[in-house]
Amino acid sequence: MKLKDEEYFQRCHSLMNTEGNLTTMRTLYYRPLPNSLPPGQVRLGEHSDYGSITLLFQDDIGGLEIENKEGEYVPATPLENTVIVNIGDILQFWTQGKLKSTRHRVMIPDDKDKRVIVRRSMVYFVRPDNDVIINDPLAYRDKEKTKEPNVTPITSHQYSMMKFNKTFNY
């Protein structure tokens, strides 16, 4: 990635566990569902996560799907002792799209035995420190090789707030 400072990304997360960083852990509880539902129903809508990376721990019920390069959703079948690492929007901005933020969703299992059981997941959303500028691709690599983009700087905090307000608009 031609990092001019190999510790750049690490330093941008140095305030985790303080008020200067919005990294959060969320536990999700998907309640049991009736068997009468038709197949192919969405449980958690398509989205990309908006931090830098996400660590996702799911149980063995399944339903999580990830969008591949062809734009098709493919199952992320649960594997024991495995953590899924998603790239979030901010890492995509930072790297000018070199690393892609992965769209994903959760479907209701077609298997009727699995629908009537609770699904649980645990998600750790890693976000850069609040004041980090997320749309300056030059911050992490050799400035001479890329033209200075003419854009208004956006901080990690501003972007997160914009996404929170859109997602939790009720």
Ligand X SMILES: O=C(O)CCC(=O)C(=O)O
CA–CA distance, 51 with 124 (Å, rounded to integer) = 10
Select the binding partner of residue 58 from Fe ion, ligand X, none (C-beta < 5 to 8 A, by kind).
Answer: ligand X
With CB under 6 A as the contact rule, which of the stretches 1-9, 32-40, 56-64, 144-152 interacts with ligand X? 56-64
Q: H or E segment at 122?
A: strand 119-126
Nearer to ligand X, 65 or 129 (CB): 65
Residue 99 in contact with ligand X, rule: CB under 6 A: no
Residue 121 in contact with ligand X, rule: CB under 6 A: yes
Q: Which of 64, 91, 126, 134 binds ligand X (CB under 6 A)?
A: 64
Minimal CA–CA distance to 87: which of 99, 70, 69?
99
Residue 33 in contact with ligand X, rule: CB under 6 A: no
DSSP string, 40-95: S-EEEEEE---SSEEEEEE-SS--EEEE-TTS-EEE----TT--EEEEPHHHHHHT
Nearer to ligand X, 28 or 99 (CB): 28
Terminus-to-terminus CA distance in the chain, angstroms?
40
- DSSP conformation class of 144: G
- What binding mask, one character per residue, do residues 35-64 give for Fe ion by CB under 5 A, x or -? --------------x---------------
Residues that bind Fe ion (CB under 5 A): 49
